[in-house]
Homo-oligomer: A and B are copies of this chain.
Amino acid sequence: MKEKKSRTQLVADYDTLQRIFHRPEDEQSRNVLTKYMEQILFGLHDFLQKHVGITEEIPLKDLAEQFTSSKIARTPVKKLADVITEIIEEIAPQAVNVSSPYFIGHMTSAIPFFMVHLSTIVAALNQNQVKIETSKVVSVYERQVLAKIHRLLFNLDESFYKTHIQKPESALGSFVEDGTLANLSALWVARNRLLPSESGYSGAERDGMVRAMHDRGLKKLTILVSELGHYSIRKSAGVLGLGYDAITPIPVDGENRIDLKELKRTLEKHQRDPETAVMAVIGIAGTTETGAVDPLPTMAELCHEFGGIHFHVDAAWGGPVLLSERYRGLLKGIESADSVTIDGHKQFYLPMTNGMVFFRDPQAMDAVAYNAAYINRPGSVDLGIRSLAGSRAANCLILGSALDIMGAEGYALLIDHGIELARIFAKEIIARPMFELVTAPELNILTYRLVPNELHVSQGSTAATNKDVRLQLLNDINIKVQRMQREAGKSFVSRTTLRRSDQPDTVVLRVVLMNHRTTPEILNTILDEQEDIYLNRIAPTLSLNKIS
């Protein structure tokens, strides 16, 4: 946004400062602050209601040209009222209306309105969870919230929680920025537990990877995860000094779940190699691309069988399905994990961002404990001792309150709606001749693609019979459909390229169903629009029969 001078010159002086640290001492100040808040809550809401689209059509390049000022203004250039108006009138229309029921492409969606109120509380209290002296009761509150999710995942007995919930020496988990940092935290713990500092051996955390590996005669660590594993796992291996090539991608079966035979074969192979150690096996509870859930019980057994390998479950997406009595069976086996990743800003419907990592063993996080003289003395109750970050916001208040307001049943309504809507949508896709369901929904994610009549395998056109040409054509068409629909701005599905070892790279349209206002009718409209885009804008540019 280009900076405009206010009509009256704003100045920074001590009186202004007093006003800026506005204290609602009198009725008038209160009215002003309330007015601003109403403007934010309703002005923004009304705007998004009026502009039903996902975003306006201005190309990003043009927008970028409006944000090229690198100078901080010397004197104040805007009042809060101007800022709010500008955000509502100029930023919001060009941001993404993630709360639209037509926005079904990513794992970001509408959030309950009360989440905004709870975020406001967190900002107003401004606690820092790094230590008791800047959070006090909110530290013990956070421990309770972590215990609730830990119990949802691992379901240990009452006496376990009685013992550990508030025991300073125990840690059931940690809030982190997001799923990536949760995966990183889990693998950090796994690495340090595999390579601890002990008699005769250097430890990875203290002495580094080179010495710790050398002392054990190891050349390589590896992490086994299906080829549909999230890219944060590769990133974590890179950060942790294993190198991202340490990830061994295991092929998936026809239902996008890790191939157990391949997993076992790989474990056996590594077992025979004294210079390689398997640092972790990762199961996915809701792959990012297809929503599939790996066969967690058997994976847990294999980890046990092969000498107690750290079993991590990436449930960033799927974790909250455990709140649904109807569908929690889909996550069977998660209770046997050593660690689990959850994203609060996904299916707990929290505002951006809120990640969590949990450990079955309340002593696991000792492997990553740090302290400093001015903060977090050893043996203290400070949560910062065992977290990757230092300063942390009191987001636990949002999750804790949301659990009370929604109850498991409230969340289950949302979860069930998404899963059931995905099944209905899958049927619709199958019923339409112009579409092909590529991956059926196990949770509330599915992928499909547009396959024009001329390219149906049964059609026998030249293009359809040449497999490579056909795939290339379909990929191109689906890339175009997705882009044109996104640019039209009325609805949004995402696209991805499925890369699976036994199949050629396939471009698919990807749908994530988590907005309770998304209905089968809306989904039909979205398919109609895609058909229309293909028939009227893409097909005329192709000459399918001429392609050899």
Sample of 14 more A-B contacts, CB < 8 Å, known A206-B243, A210-B210? A23-B49, A34-B37, A34-B41, A65-B166, A76-B404, A76-B410, A87-B125, A95-B127, A96-B136, A127-B352, A178-B391, A179-B391, A181-B389, A208-B237
Q: Which residue of B lies closest to A119 (CB)?
A: B123
Q: Which residue of B lies closest to A156 (CB)?
A: B70
Shortest beta-carbon distance from A454 to chain B in Å: 27
Interface residues in A54-112 by Cβ distance below 8 A to B read: 55, 60, 63-80, 83-84, 87, 91-92, 94-96, 98-99, 105-106, 108, 110-112
Give the chain B neighbours of A389 by CB distance below 8 A: 177-178, 180-181, 353
Known: A70-B150, A391-B178. A37 touches B117 (CB 8 A): yes
Give the chain B neighbours of A83 by CB distance below 8 A: 114, 118, 401, 404-405
Tell me, in angstroms, the Cα distance from A407 to B117 when the chains sit together. Answer: 28
Known: A20-B410, A144-B69, A403-B73. A238 touches B206 (CB 8 A): yes
A22 interfacial by beta-carbon distance below 8 Å:
yes
> Would you give the 0/1 interface string for A123-136, flagging 1 where the beta carbon is closer than 8 Å to chain B?
11111100011111
Cβ contact within 8 Å between B73 and A407: yes
Cβ contact within 8 Å between A41 and B120: yes
Chain A: interface size category: 35 or more
Which stretch in A228-236, A261-269, A328-336, A463-471 binds the other chain?
A228-236
Cβ contact within 8 Å between B244 and A241: no
Cβ contact within 8 Å between A124 and B352: no
A260 interfacial by beta-carbon distance below 8 Å:
no
Cβ contact within 8 Å between B352 and A391: yes
Which stretch in A365-373, A421-429, A431-439 binds the other chain?
A365-373
Shortest beta-carbon distance from A302 to chain B in Å: 24
Cβ contact within 8 Å between B516 and A17: yes
Cβ contact within 8 Å between A73 and B408: yes
A343 interfacial by beta-carbon distance below 8 Å:
yes
Known: A84-B117, A125-B44, A373-B496. A352 touches B22 (CB 8 A): no
Cβ contact within 8 Å between A392 and B239: no
> Would you give the 0/1 interface string for A283-305, flagging 1 where the beta carbon is closer than 8 Å to chain B?
00000110000000000000000
Please state the number of chain copies in the assembly.
2
Cβ contact within 8 Å between B41 and A392: no
Tell me, in angstroms, the Cα distance from A412 to B242 when the chains sit together. Answer: 45
* 7 A-B pairs with C-beta separation under 8 A: A12-B406, A34-B37, A64-B166, A77-B404, A98-B127, A115-B123, A181-B181
A533 interfacial by beta-carbon distance below 8 Å:
no
Residue among A92, A188, A205 with the highest chain B CB neighbour number at 10 A: A205
A270 interfacial by beta-carbon distance below 8 Å:
no
A451 interfacial by beta-carbon distance below 8 Å:
no
Q: Which residue of B lies closest to A244 (CB)?
A: B206
A326 interfacial by beta-carbon distance below 8 Å:
no
A327 interfacial by beta-carbon distance below 8 Å:
no
Tell me, in angstroms, the Cα distance from A294 to B83 when the chains sit together. Answer: 38
Task: Give the residue of B122, B141, B151, B353 whose beta carbon is less than 8 angstroms from that of A67.
Answer: B141
Interface residues in A327-372 by Cβ distance below 8 A to B read: 343, 345, 351-353, 355, 368, 370-372
Cβ contact within 8 Å between B413 and A13: yes
Task: Give the residue of B87, B144, B177, B413 whose beta carbon is less than 8 angstroms from that of A12.
Answer: B413
Give the chain B neighbours of A135 by CB distance below 8 A: 95-96
Known: A20-B405, A140-B63. A98 touches B126 (CB 8 A): yes
Give the chain B neighbours of A412 by CB distance below 8 A: 12
Shortest beta-carbon distance from A10 to chain B in Å: 7
Cβ contact within 8 Å between B37 and A392: no
Tell me, in angstroms, the Cα distance from A74 to B391 when the chains sit together. Answer: 33
Interface residues in A485-508 by Cβ distance below 8 A to B read: 486, 492, 494-499
A476 interfacial by beta-carbon distance below 8 Å:
no
Tell me, in angstroms, the Cα distance from A420 to B234 when the chains sit together. Answer: 49
Cβ contact within 8 Å between A516 and B148: no
